[in-house]
Chain A
Amino acid sequence: MGKHVNITIDGRNILADEGRNLVDVATENGFFIPSLCYFENIDPPLGTCRTCTCKINGKFTPACTEKVREGLAVEVNSAELKDMRKGIVEMMFAEGNHICPSCEKSGNCDLQHMGYELGIAISRFPHLFKNRLIDYGAKRMVMEHNRCIKCLRCVVEVENDDGKKVFSYQNRGNETHVGVDYEEEKKLTRDQAIQAMNICPTGAIIVRGESVGKPFGERKFDEDSIRPDYVKPVKSDNNIDLSNVEKKRVATVSLAGCFGCHMSMLDVDTEILDLVELITFDKSPLTDFKKFTQRCDVGIIEGSVCNEENVETLRTFREQCDLLVAVGECAIWGGLPSLRNTIPLGECLEEAFLNCVTNEQGNTTIPYHKHLPKMLDRIYECREVVKIDYFIPGCPPDAQHIWKAVKNLLWNENYSILYSEFKYD
């Protein structure tokens, strides 16, 4: 090294050490390029995830595989590139069953973190809900194949003291998965196993007994963005005079959710008393209106769609509300209830009503009645049933996040969602 070269990033001239990694140089100069497979000491970089795709000398190229050299012209922040990178990460979420709330890595997960940095509330691709193996065969770890993004980090990096690889790629294409060599894995020390867990950018490699990391708020990606250009908080949340605005009607509903999102709305505490000066609640579990009394400005939807009644309710909301806001993981992509999507419905019913240990002997039946709505074959996210206008992720979303977004939709009030308020778990 030693030699300085001139490059441009988004038109800005930058002097850099020749041969250095482009992602590093960009970051040092205040340009955020998301990366996932790129890892400190893996050289040459893997280039497997494509999250870092930029336009380099006019061609779409993963930035992490690029070394800085004279005359490099890099485009990072065009709308097209930003959208492309976002799409790549969305694809990863859609491809696996990333149920953040139940994941040991949550808060310390690189994939989740990239989702936050890119502001991903929803995936534009349908979720596959594949039923992949959770492999308990290894001694120290559990391999959660649903969460693997096939970045190859573990395959190239993890070795035991004999210098033997522990992980390998198996199968091809769509069917590729990471296999664990149980024999070699056994020889890992506990620290080496933990190291392997840390190398994995998702929660695919879980070390037994290390299943929970740190409390909320103290996790790696809880508080601050790494992006230099991450939205700064708008000074005041009340930057329009709310005393002068027109009163609006809001309806809320809980479909297949846990009511946590409704509870979160109430967590603005006494602020709710100010809000009700501006908002009238129409149909909602919080009021006694069982049907819409009139058209509403906003409908807030919690929960996914699991039976025909949910379908009907959701359609009514679409008809009766100008805007629909899906609040929480369940409404957005199925959340916890969607764990049932990898299992035949019949099995779920049989387990609860026929096989359950406390059920009456010889007197079991699966409920079926004209007053019970028919269940759907699987859990559907709300937007598969009706058009949804706005999505607020989280399980549940932060109270402030919900109300800032709703106020913005109702009165165009400016707001910024703090990095710490934007979560998937």
Chain B
Amino acid sequence: MSKTITIDPVTRVEGHGRVTIHLDDEGNVDETYFHIVEFRGFERFIQGHPYWQAPNLVQRLCGICPVSHHLAAAKAIDQIVGIDPKDLSTGATKLRRLLHYAQIFQSHALHFFYLASPDLLFGVDAPPEKRNVVGVAVENRELAVKGITMRKFGQELIKALAGKKIHGTLAVPGGVYKSLKAEERDTFLNGKEFPDIDTMIKWSQEMVDFMKDYHTKNRVFLDTFAAFPSGHLGTVRTDGALELYDGKLRAIDSEGNITLPDVEPDDYLEYFSEAVAKWSYMKFPYLKSVGRKKGWNRVGPLARMNICDYISTPLAEKARREYFEFTGSSVNNSTMYSHWARLIETLHCAELMKELLLDPDILDENDLVREGNERNVGIGIIEAPRGTLTHHYEVDDKGMIVRCNLIVSTTHNNDAMNEAVKWVANNVISREKTITEGMLNQVEVAIRAYDPCLSCATQAMGKMPLKAELYDHEGTLIGEKTKN
């Protein structure tokens, strides 16, 4: 059957993300690349479809943060039916927010427990057999159960709101499908079927404490590993608080100077441009005003901690202050602090979920969908677990999508991940004649801190397969390593 396939000359490659490291005469690192090898073409094939299909279609970009895509698209589609975020009913807004926080909560839990914790618990040089959630479960079953249960809590809440844990539907143009029923809400408060929201807050707090403790013991590693200056981008509330659902875009440079001053998401086109490199299917967004070289930004937990003035929920705010006591400045440019920042956000989302679960507005069945005057352009920006996510649609007068532009979170981190790879290459691999398994894992550890969701741009996960190659100055392959 494979005979029917048209393939250009096959080059042997493995996995979805790929790193190549090129050395010069002296064995110094010349070039490094983090190649994104997958391309799907959503921007094109969504054209011709009715706009109202977008929130359901595009969430299939990603099975890890489908809610973010669903909601970013929904926010854009709201505008197409003439509804700006402020025009949405209170109930609809709160239900969408609750869905969003549940999603960030589960996604952060997934990343920490299933993907990142093995490196932190066992060290970057641990044998590969150990470096997975099974290893964590064997070593520390209680921790594994907590992690899995935290993710479950988020997933169950998503299911209650959207009908399904993955690729459910809550948002419709101008509102939401449905509200929560009191009995459904109660499942999350009474702890009968699974641990309740208070337990989630408690466990999230424990994870933050775990990280604080880890920090005390591994300060040098956290401070220095893959640390480099960069800009940071995210959204904030008008009062500067961290805002994950509907904020203004703010960016700062590596020293904290404002490079994007709390602008309206709708104006993103004025500020952002994307570069293309021939060696990757993932683009490189940057701030036009700063330029290609320095205008790229990190996004996600680390960036959000850096750009916000404070966090609106008390426990997370306290955790944020402690975090900055250690970092010693207002901007933290150390890749590994992403893990800590992610756990603070996990706590924040747990607190926010509790606030909303106790809010009677989420039970209100009235006024779920609103109508306005149709427009031709819709832009939705949201803070996905991995960072700022932009969906932009243009439709004709008949409701057909004629243009779509997506800038997914991981794309913003493209430069940062390449920078992180370069750091490990320069500091760990440079001048070495043999590459060890541990060195290669460090390349991954650096990338992994960004929790890249290549599903969005490709379809791999945090621990995507990697293949590292060593080239001499003439470009001849002198060493190659895939990890087993």
Contact = CB atoms under 8 A, between A and B. Distances in A.
Contacts of A42: none
Interface stretch (B59-67, B206-214, B238-246, B425-433): B59-67
Q: Which of the four size classes fits the interface of chain A? A: 35 or more
Q: Which of A208, A270, A290 has the most CB of B within 10 A?
A: A290
Interface stretch (B228-236, B318-326, B459-467): B459-467
Contacts of B365: none
A258 B459 CA distance: 5
Contact of B455 (A258, A266, A272, A288): A258
Interface string A385-409: 1100000000110010000000000
A340 B37 contact: no
Given A256-B459, A273-B137, A212 B10 contact: no
A303 B64 contact: no
Nearest to A387: B1
B169 A260 contact: no
A136 B401 CA distance: 11
A293 interface: yes
B465 A312 contact: no
B53 A335 contact: no
Given A256-B38, A351-B44, A289 B57 contact: no
Given A142-B50, A258-B61, A371-B18, A353 B276 contact: yes
Contacts of A357: 269, 392, 403, 405
B76 to A, nearest CB: 14
Candidate in A258, A267, A374 with the most chain B CB atoms within 10 angstroms: A258
Contacts of B11: 308, 370-371, 373-374
Interface string A38-76: 000000000000000000000000000000000000000
A270 B164 contact: no
B52 interface: yes
Interface in B252-275: 269, 272-275
B51 to A, nearest CB: 9
B169 A374 contact: no
A220 to B, nearest CB: 14
Nearest to B141: A273
B274 A385 contact: no
Contacts of B64: 259-260, 263
Q: Which 9 A-B pairs have the closest CB atoms?
A: A260-B63, A216-B163, A348-B41, A136-B398, A288-B128, A351-B44, A374-B8, A211-B52, A339-B45
Interface of B: 1-2, 4-16, 18, 20, 33, 35, 37-41, 43-50, 52-53, 56-57, 60-64, 66, 110, 114, 128-129, 131-134, 137, 141, 144-145, 148-149, 151-152, 155, 162-170, 172-173, 177-178, 269, 272-281, 283, 285, 292, 392, 396, 398-400, 403, 405, 407, 441, 453, 455, 459-461, 463-467, 482-484
Given A340-B44, A396-B63, 6 more contacts: A101-B56, A308-B10, A311-B5, A337-B40, A371-B35, A384-B5
